[in-house]
Structure 1
């Protein structure tokens, strides 16, 4: 009888173990809200790694993004492809989008889902440092090109059309074709619509959630993360070459917020903030150099400029723009120490503004420097140059009030007769003096020169003072 009881208890424990293990597992929820950059990449990559280390059941990446930096996007996709647990790409809440880089991330995810009233697509790479692919100057020009293509034959027309669609230069075609191959590879890996993926890159097409489901771009539509977990329960996915069955019913959702390091990185890698830090650092060091011992401007300036340089090291910076900013600062400093009545200063402001405008080497939304900020810096720098020129000119015309030069033109009294050499009382001091004229004791004298510690004087009048 006891043996039967033991077997019954053992069987009950074995049946209860999977349920207990499932109850202990959670689904990690990571969020992309805005442009994708280095901070986003660090947050998602570490979040996916932490989820795998904590034996989470899966990771949900909820996104609403206009796109972002290619390098950051590829880092995120690398983390997804290397993940040992399923990663679910989820465009939500309603009204969100997965544009540009977000489309690639959705294609890389093991499961792709969208909330109602969301959209995906427009995956054409933004031309770095340029205006993108060449466009016809007018509709007439485009029609004329199409007519010429038809006259040249179908095969030739297709080649020309493809060239226009993917960029007028070899570099533009290179960028487009690389992106096409990348997203096609992801589509083939996940068994999603390959042809639409290519169109999203070449033609920047965009579709709604319902169309995406119908076209085989995503796996399902779910309004909330909880409904998403219910829908994907039992789905079979391939993770690192191995088939896994998703067990997501009843999972608790653990929301992972960015830590302080991610938040700091997110702030300083904002191009506008990085630019402000650079300007603050430069002017802080200038003020410290102009007023040695102030300490605070130097400390703040050094910290700011180091943070700015770190940010620019991981942002797509145009180094010609950075060089122009450095040149502008050098010219402004030169104006401070070698006044040129504004010539160096004006040149410095022009170089500073020009460098600021072209500093960020990308047209990606969210990664440009505010023109208002650049305009404000230009006004501040110009005001500083005007002030330098004004005070330098004022100093040049101000009478000398100290030093050897101030003695010239001063008057005093002869202390004793001066026959070539003698003593005079000038500026409340007794000085040795020489004169080519005879000067009587008590007679008023005027200083005409100074050599070492001896004055050259001449009589002012014949009046004598006692």
Structure 2
């Protein structure tokens, strides 16, 4: 009986050791943090932390190049880093990369902070996505943010005075200044240089004291999947802005040519992606309101042509809305080329519509209203009792003469004309 107990004990020991050994991957995982910090970014980094823990990785390196982003996503990432049993190394790279705003919090949360040549860190003043706050509320937000960032700095014995200035005064420093002010732990030319320099470094993590063994360890780089790349791309202010405009154009085309469906579907998808991207950006409500006013003008111009007057008003609203869309002192902003080019495209489209309207008007004067009387057309929308019909090669606003509903696709006959509205009846065949 005693021999059996020893046998099963030894078997359990070897099986346990075998399982622990298989869990040790002896690798370093590298995950990129590029672009705006968004929910997609948090998902990728938290997933990488879970993978590092599951495989028993030696360390996780976050390669940072970000202008900032969403605070809620930043807090999720920071919480994951602080509670990770695997040491996390922030590496601001490549040369010329920035670690601004939200990126500063993420970098300071890591036990090791390294910077490549020609990089910078800082400018962490909080930016509200709802526009400028009143003085009392802004003071509360700033004080809370200062408390948060100094706590992170103290966690790894970094310069908390500089961390406070990064929030209150939006100061930004390069890699040499960061090293001198004890914000960064070291500078490294590249990833291999980084892993060589931190080899043997002792870290006191919540899980215990560990000694990094990184020299010559295999590196596995996490490549974001297609879903993440799409969601991350739409968080770029220029792409989000262009998607918003494509969405507007699609909805406008749907109203202009009812019954097609495809422009409306594409426009709706573009708007959803744009709203996702804008949710991670410091959006100005006035800018959004002006853009939607522009949408209203464009739709009205398509439905009740005013020879470009409503379209012109839409272009002006679009231009100012684009200027005000993203808060100007944020690192995340729409480039001038984007909104100027977009406004010019919409101007050309409105000019084309106005030209077509003038030509149509001249053609109708030449032929007279009688030219349309008795014409047979097709209802392109339901007339209940008003809608759109296609008659004589043109789209017209029409109303059922006897107020009886006419379904889309049914043939109609022009009986009377009231201004720019055709009075029609269902065509009896």
* TM-score past 0.5 threshold: yes
CA distance in 2, matches of 1:202, 1:190: 21
Q: TM-score, normalised by structure 1?
A: 0.66
Q: Verify the 8 A CA contact 1:28 1:60 in the aligned structure 2.
A: yes
Give 1:398's match in structure 2, choosing from 363, 366, 370: 366
Q: Which runs of 5+ in 1 are unaligned?
A: 1-12, 133-167, 407-450, 453-466
Other-structure match for 1:40: 41
Describe the superposition over 1:307-330 as per-residue Cα deviations: whole angstroms up to 9, x where unpaired.
223333444333332232222222
Other-structure match for 1:272: 238
Q: Verify the 8 A CA contact 1:126 1:362 in the aligned structure 2.
A: no
Equivalent positions of 1:163-182 (< 5 A) are 169-182=135-148
* Structure 2 CA distance for partners of 1:294 and 1:41, relative to 1, 3 Å: same
CA distance in 2, matches of 1:329, 1:319: 15
Q: Verify the 8 A CA contact 1:334 1:344 in the aligned structure 2.
A: yes
Other-structure match for 1:349: 315
3-state SS of 1:103 partner: helix
Other-structure match for 2:338: 373
Q: Verify the 8 A CA contact 1:128 1:363 in the aligned structure 2.
A: no
3-state SS of 1:83 partner: coil
* Structure 2 CA distance for partners of 1:311 and 1:211, relative to 1, 3 Å: closer
* Structure 2 CA distance for partners of 1:100 and 1:323, relative to 1, 3 Å: closer
Other-structure match for 1:301: 267
Q: Verify the 8 A CA contact 1:129 1:362 in the aligned structure 2.
A: no
Q: Verify the 8 A CA contact 1:125 1:175 in the aligned structure 2.
A: yes
3-state SS of 1:30 partner: strand
Other-structure match for 1:194: 160
260-269 or 67-76, larger mean C-alpha shift: 67-76
Task: Indicate whether 1:317 and 2:283 are aligned.
Answer: yes
Deviation at 1:108, TM superposition (A): 0.5
When the two chains are superposed, the root-mean-square deviation of aligned CA atoms in Å is: 3.6
* Structure 2 CA distance for partners of 1:115 and 1:17, relative to 1, 3 Å: farther
3-state SS of 1:277 partner: helix
Give 1:333's match in structure 2, choosing from 294, 299, 304: 299
29-38 or 350-359, larger mean C-alpha shift: 29-38
196-205 or 25-34, larger mean C-alpha shift: 196-205
Describe the superposition over 1:223-276 as per-residue Cα deviations: whole angstroms up to 9, x where unpaired.
333343343344333334543343434321111121111111122222222222
Other-structure match for 1:382: 347
Other-structure match for 1:431: none
CA distance in 2, matches of 1:385, 1:96: 41
CA distance in 2, matches of 1:284, 1:125: 35
Deviation at 1:357, TM superposition (A): 2.1
Deviation at 1:59, TM superposition (A): 0.3
CA distance in 1, matches of 2:328, 2:75: 17
Equivalent positions of 1:88-107 (< 5 A) are 88-107=89-108
Task: Indicate whether 1:359 and 2:316 are aligned.
Answer: no
Other-structure match for 2:3: none
Q: Verify the 8 A CA contact 2:69 2:281 in the aligned structure 1.
A: no
Give the count of matched residue pairs.
Answer: 360
CA distance in 1, matches of 2:98, 2:256: 51
Q: Verify the 8 A CA contact 1:68 1:364 in the aligned structure 2.
A: no
CA distance in 1, matches of 2:127, 2:271: 29
Q: Verify the 8 A CA contact 1:23 1:251 in the aligned structure 2.
A: no
CA distance in 1, matches of 2:124, 2:214: 31
Describe the superposition over 1:433-456 as per-residue Cα deviations: whole angstroms up to 9, x where unpaired.
xxxxxxxxxxxxxxxxxx99xxxx
Deviation at 1:126, TM superposition (A): 4.9
Q: Verify the 8 A CA contact 1:282 1:301 in the aligned structure 2.
A: yes
